[in-house]
Amino acid sequence: MTEAMAMIARTCLIGDDKKSGYHWLNSAEKLALPQEPLGWSRVQSVRGRFLWQEKRLIEATKLFKELYQYCSDRKLHERAIDAAHMVAITADHEEQIIWGKKGIREAEAGSVTGWLGPLWNNLGVTYEDMKQYDSSLAAYKKAREYHYQHGTESNKMIADWAVGHAFLNLKDYDEAEKWLEPLVEWCEKLEDNEFLGFTCRDLGKVNLAGEKYQSALDYFIRAEKLLKEAGMPDWNAEGYDKLLNQIKELRRKIE
pLDDT confidence band for 106 (50 / 70 / 90): confident
Residue 205 lies in a domain: yes
At residue 47, the 3 state secondary structure works out as helix
DSSP 8-state code for residue 115: G
194: containing domain: 175-255
Residue 187 lies in a domain: yes
Q: Could you please report the per-residue DSSP string of 189-254?
A: HHT-HHHHHHHHHHHHHHHHHTT-HHHHHHHHHHHHHHHHHTTHHHH-HHHHHHHHHHHHHHHHHH
At residue 242, the 3 state secondary structure works out as helix
Question: Which range (32-41, 83-92, 193-202, 238-247) has the least confidence?
Answer: 83-92
Question: Which range (107-111, 141-145, 186-190) has the least confidence?
Answer: 107-111
Q: Which of 140, 151, 217, 126 is nearest to 176 (CA)?
A: 140
Residue 80 lies in a domain: no
Question: Which range (107-116, 220-229, 234-243) has the least confidence?
Answer: 107-116
Does 155 have pLDDT greater than 90?
yes
Mean pLDDT to the nearest integer, 129-138: 97
pLDDT of residue 109: 83
Residue 216 lies in a domain: yes
Residue 239 lies in a domain: yes
- For residue 24, the Cα-to-chain-centroid distance in whole angstroms is 27
Q: How far apart are CA 163 and CA 95, in angstroms?
A: 24
Residue 227 lies in a domain: yes
Residue 146 lies in a domain: no
Q: How many CB atoms lie within 10 A of CB 3?
A: 18
Q: How far apart are CA 122 and CA 231, in angstroms?
A: 22
pLDDT confidence band for 112 (50 / 70 / 90): confident
DSSP 8-state code for residue 54: T
Residue 184 lies in a domain: yes
* The total number of structural domains that make up the chain: 1
Q: How many CB atoms lie within 10 A of CB 129?
A: 11
pLDDT confidence band for 88 (50 / 70 / 90): confident
At residue 36, the 3 state secondary structure works out as coil
